[in-house]
């Protein structure tokens, strides 16, 4: 363990790696502050610049963008009441009221400190868990891998918040379908190319990612002046500082939410969008008598911010140890790893220990940099929101188009982007989620490969497949994921009803 | 509210048609002449699996939406949309022209026309800033890709 950490430290302290971590977290922070621009598009746009780089610094920068954006999201939540990322939505609930009461600095410092602690707790858990998990996964054969991927997809469909499960399922099927375009893996039979030579190789994953996300994000922001809603920014009046006394009070909360956020993040499909409301509700439940909730309670900032950072690092566990993406951002990072010539999966820890442990240590260093940069500079960071977004988003649009072109050096891919853009707008309007689509596109290939191998290994006999011990365990977990959440919801609804009834009775008396 | 639900029904109908088209193509995938062994799955097995799941799940969603639409009372309000429809049309049109431009006249001219066109549509009054931005950004992208990253951007069919 200690020697692994030393390998990591050795990798990180190389100046070029430090520089890339710094660059990554700062870009991530800016992206997080800007409402509308997400890490998926940022990483996709930056990919062409990565081809020439060494894998280790490039991946450190990409991971930095990822957790840096979680960090930055809180700033626009607190000061503008417009969350910069999905994970910072809950931070608005108490962060914005705090800022309105003139405690913006305290809120920002609380958010930064909580993110930092959440990141540290999650990184420690990551280091503790990664090696054991990798060892387990290495023993997996094709049938187990197939079951693992089915489990991942079912998690995504089963636990997703917000959109209905059946819609998530449709998105997953469409993503899998996009993955089948091109040649059959085993026999080389062309499929779904409709006579076109261009589609023989399949559709590049980066093209799908850019198409699904970039156009929609750009369109949200490219508006005429009279169509824009002016948001007022609250100025920071007090000092960006959090007292030592306050920090001591937060320690149990941080430990709780850090661990829970991390564990949730490990499951595919549970992103910060699910973990932050949970963290908020939980802390609110623990501190029920406090009347300040929703009107500027610092705990309401600390809980979601700690949770979302822990969750984002937890999501890197399945990505790095199994090669399975848990979110849209993880999917694009996985494809970036493949572009850089790194094979993600359980063997990574053995074949490239300096990269693996270097990444783990870079999370610590990156979090520290974010904290140091954040506390004094946060007042100036918010100016980014006030700049007119037109030029920035125009640049993103063009870089996205050029980036798609550079995947294979053909204009055909740019037309594919256009098609996927229209599809994403339509799906957006009908509330179909897009990240399951993206994850399924990436997984589709691997699922089919392992399905074919499984068929051969188990002689096309389903009983032989199911009776493998790990497969059986994973399939039982699939059933649990599908069955448990509705039951829990029902039980908690009953409990709520009972409490409400009791309260009603008490009021009558 | 009702208008929004109608949108959902339309999109789901479209996705159903797309899924049916996919499934139809999946059934018509030829058997491979390459016979490896008996337990190998035929090339169309997995696409048919995915296609069927797609069609069935969209059907399920569609039926749910139609029932919801029928039940929903019309409140006479226009649909709430995340995007301004006119902007979507303008941007899509410009996008198509841009792609055609890449084929015909290459990156530099089509990028200048595209950027300038969109910016003029959005903020005509800032034409000076628009022009400066267009020229500088096009130059930066061109130099960066062609010379630093050695990814050669399209030259077009006409100006070679």
The answer to whether A211 and A418 are in contact (CB under 8 A) is yes
| pLDDT of A442 over the 80 cut | yes
For chain B, percent of residues with pLDDT exceeding 70 = 89
Nearest alpha-carbon partner for A362 in A55, A44, A52, A39: A55
Nearest to A455 among B41, B91, B122 (CB): B41
The answer to whether A53 and A355 are in contact (CB under 8 A) is no
The whole-number average pLDDT for the span B146-157 is 83
Give whole-number Cα distances, A436 to A204, B9, B79, in Å: 17, 21, 26
Contact list, A51 vs chain B (CB under 8 Å) = 149
Tell me the pLDDT tens digit for each residue of A15-35: 999 999 999 998 888 888 887
A508 HSE (CA, 13 A, CB side)? 6
3-state secondary structure B90-107: HHHHHHHHHHHHHHHCCH
Which H/E stretch holds residue A182?
A: strand A182-183
Q: What is residue A52's DSSP assignment?
A: T
Of A78 and A374, the one with more pLDDT: A78
The answer to whether A79 and A102 are in contact (CB under 8 A) is no
Tokens 């996205």 sit at which residue?
A400
Nearest alpha-carbon partner for A48 in A409, A417, A440: A409
DSSP characters over B116-160? HHHHHHH-GGGHHHHHHHHHHHHHHHHHIIIIIS--PPP--SS--
Confidence of residue A125 (pLDDT cuts 50, 70, 90): very high
The answer to whether B136 and B152 are in contact (CB under 8 A) is no
B40 HSE (CA, 13 A, CB side)? 15
Which H/E stretch holds residue A191?
A: strand A190-191
Nearest CA in chain B to A457: B39
Burial of A158 (0-12, 13-18, 19+ CB in 10 A): buried
Tell me the pLDDT tens digit for each residue of A483-506: 877 787 777 777 767 666 766 666
Nearest alpha-carbon partner for A67 in A263, A313, A305, A343: A313
Tokens of A474: 């994973």
**pLDDT score, position A279:** 87
**pLDDT score, position B96:** 92
Burial of A501 (0-12, 13-18, 19+ CB in 10 A): exposed
The answer to whether B83 and A392 are in contact (CB under 8 A) is no
Q: Which of A402, A405, A419 to mutate to test the interface with B (most CBs of B within 10 A)?
A: A402
The three-state secondary structure class of A190 is strand
3-state secondary structure A436-493: HHHHHHHHHHHHHHHHHHHHHHCCCCHHHHHCCHHHHHHHHHHHHHHHHHHHHHHHHH
Q: How far apart are alpha carbons A65 and A273 in whole angstroms?
A: 18
Confidence of residue A227 (pLDDT cuts 50, 70, 90): low
Of A273 and A468, the one with more pLDDT: A468
* CB-CB under 8 Å, B36 with A394: no
The answer to whether A177 and A464 are in contact (CB under 8 A) is no
Tell me the pLDDT tens digit for each residue of A166-184: 888 899 999 999 988 887 7
**pLDDT score, position B56:** 93
Q: Give helix then strand counts, H and E, for chain B.
A: 5, 0
Tokens of A331: 């999917």
Whether residue B132 lies within 8 A of chain A, CB to CB, comes out as no
| pLDDT of B1 over the 70 cut | no
Whether residue A455 lies within 8 A of chain B, CB to CB, comes out as yes
Name the average pLDDT for chain A: 84
Confidence of residue B38 (pLDDT cuts 50, 70, 90): low
Of B142 and A507, the one with more pLDDT: B142
Q: How far apart are alpha carbons A127 and A133 in whole angstroms?
A: 10
Radius of gyration of chain A (CA): 23
Separation of first and last alpha carbons in chain A: 62
Q: How far apart are alpha carbons A267 and B27 in whole angstroms?
A: 35
User: Which B residues 85-114 touch A at CB under 8 Å?
Assistant: 87-88, 91-92, 95-96, 98-99, 102-103, 107, 111, 114
| pLDDT of A507 over the 60 cut | no
| pLDDT of A233 over the 80 cut | no
* CB-CB under 8 Å, A451 with B41: yes
**pLDDT score, position A152:** 87
Whether residue A426 lies within 8 A of chain B, CB to CB, comes out as yes
Q: How far apart are alpha carbons B29 and A418 in whole angstroms?
A: 27
Tokens of A425: 């707008």
| pLDDT of B97 over the 90 cut | yes
| pLDDT of A118 over the 70 cut | yes
Which H/E stretch holds residue A173?
A: helix A165-180
Confidence of residue A226 (pLDDT cuts 50, 70, 90): low
Q: pTM, whole model, 2 decimals? A: 0.86
3-state secondary structure A326-373: CCHHHHHHHHHHHHCCCCCCCCHHHHCHHHHHHHHHHHHHHHHHHHHH
**pLDDT score, position A162:** 58
Tokens of A85: 């990322």
- Total residues belonging to chain A: 509
**pLDDT score, position B153:** 85
* CB-CB under 8 Å, B119 with A192: no
The three-state secondary structure class of B82 is coil
The three-state secondary structure class of A507 is helix
Nearest alpha-carbon partner for A31 in A484, A392, A487: A392
The answer to whether A371 and A159 are in contact (CB under 8 A) is no
Confidence of residue A508 (pLDDT cuts 50, 70, 90): low
**pLDDT score, position B34:** 65
Whether residue B69 lies within 8 A of chain A, CB to CB, comes out as no
Tell me the pLDDT tens digit for each residue of A56-108: 999 999 999 988 888 888 888 888 887 777 778 888 888 888 888 888 888 88
Q: How far apart are alpha carbons B96 and A335 in whole angstroms?
A: 27
| pLDDT of A324 over the 60 cut | yes
Tokens of A379: 């007042």
| pLDDT of A6 over the 80 cut | yes
């Amino acid at each position: 363990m200690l020697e692994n950490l030393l390998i990591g430290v050795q990798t990180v302290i190389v100046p070029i790696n430090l520089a890339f971590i710094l660059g990554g977290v700062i870009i991530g922070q800016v992206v997080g502050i800007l409402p509308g621009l997400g890490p998926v598009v940022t990483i996709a746009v930056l990919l062409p610049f990565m081809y020439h780089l060494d894998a280790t610094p490039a991946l450190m920068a990409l991971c930095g963008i990822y957790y840096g954006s979680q960090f930055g999201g809180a700033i626009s939540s607190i000061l503008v009441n417009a969350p910069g990322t999905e994970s910072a939505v809950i931070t608005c609930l108490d962060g914005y009221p705090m800022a309105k009461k003139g405690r913006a600095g305290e809120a920002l410092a609380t958010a930064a400190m909580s993110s930092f602690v959440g990141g540290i707790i999650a990184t420690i858990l990551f280091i503790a868990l990664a090696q054991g998990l990798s060892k387990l996964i290495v023993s997996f054969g094709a049938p187990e891998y197939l079951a693992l991927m089915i489990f991942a997809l079912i998690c995504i469909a089963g636990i997703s918040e917000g959109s209905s499960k059946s819609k998530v399922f449709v998105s997953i099927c469409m993503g899998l379908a996009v993955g089948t375009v091109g040649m059959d893996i085993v026999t080389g039979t062309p499929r779904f190319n409709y006579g076109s030579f261009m589609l023989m190789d399949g559709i590049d994953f980066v093209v799908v990612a850019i198409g699904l996300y970039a156009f929609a994000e750009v369109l949200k922001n490219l508006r005429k002046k009279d169509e824009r809603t002016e948001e007022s920014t609250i100025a920071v009046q007090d000092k960006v500082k959090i007292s030592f006394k306050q920090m001591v009070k937060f320690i149990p909360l941080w430990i709780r939410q850090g661990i829970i956020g991390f564990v949730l993040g490990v499951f595919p499909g549970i992103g910060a969008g699910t973990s932050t409301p949970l963290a908020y509700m939980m802390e609110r439940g623990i501190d029920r008598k406090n009347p300040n909730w929703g009107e500027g309670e610092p705990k309401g900032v600390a809980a979601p911010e700690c949770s979302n950072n822990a969750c984002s690092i937890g999501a890197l566990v399945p990505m790095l140890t199994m090669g399975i993406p848990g979110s849209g951002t993880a999917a694009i990072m996985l494809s970036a790893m493949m572009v850089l010539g790194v094979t993600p999966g359980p063997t990574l820890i053995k074949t490239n220990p300096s990269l693996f442990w270097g990444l783990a240590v870079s999370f610590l260093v990156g979090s520290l940099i974010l904290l140091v940069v954040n506390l004094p500079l946060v007042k100036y960071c918010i100016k980014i929101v006030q700049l007119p977004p037109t030029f920035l988003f125009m640049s993103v649009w063009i870089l996205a188009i050029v980036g798609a072109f550079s995947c294979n050096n053909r204009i055909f891919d740019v037309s594919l982007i256009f098609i996927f853009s229209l599809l994403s707008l339509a799906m957006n309007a009908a509330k179909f989620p897009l990240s399951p689509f993206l994850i399924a596109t990436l997984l589709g290939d691997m699922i089919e490969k392992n399905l074919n191998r499984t068929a051969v290994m188990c002689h096309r006999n389903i009983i032989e497949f199911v009776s493998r011990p790990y497969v059986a365990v994973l399939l039982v977990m699939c059933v649990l994921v599908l069955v448990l959440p509705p039951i829990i919801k029902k039980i908690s609804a009953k409990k709520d009803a009972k409490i409400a009834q009791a309260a009603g009775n008490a009021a009558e008396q | 509210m009702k208008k929004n639900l109608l949108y959902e029904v339309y999109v789901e109908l479209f996705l159903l048609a797309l899924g049916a088209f996919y499934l139809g193509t999946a059934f018509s995938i030829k058997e491979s002449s390459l016979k490896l062994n008996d337990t190998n799955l035929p090339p169309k097995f997995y696409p048919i699996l995915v296609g069927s799941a797609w069609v069935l799940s969209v059907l399920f969603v569609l039926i749910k939406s139609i029932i919801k639409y029928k039940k929903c009372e019309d409140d006479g309000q226009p649909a709430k949309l995340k995007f301004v429809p006119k902007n979507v049309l303008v941007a899509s049109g410009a996008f198509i022209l841009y792609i055609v431009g890449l084929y015909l006249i290459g990156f530099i001219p089509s990028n200048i026309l595209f950027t300038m066109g969109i910016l003029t549509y959005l903020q005509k009054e800032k034409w000076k800033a628009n022009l400066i931005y267009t020229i500088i950004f096009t130059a930066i992208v061109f130099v960066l890709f062609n010379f630093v990253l050695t990814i050669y951007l399209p030259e077009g069919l006409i100006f070679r």
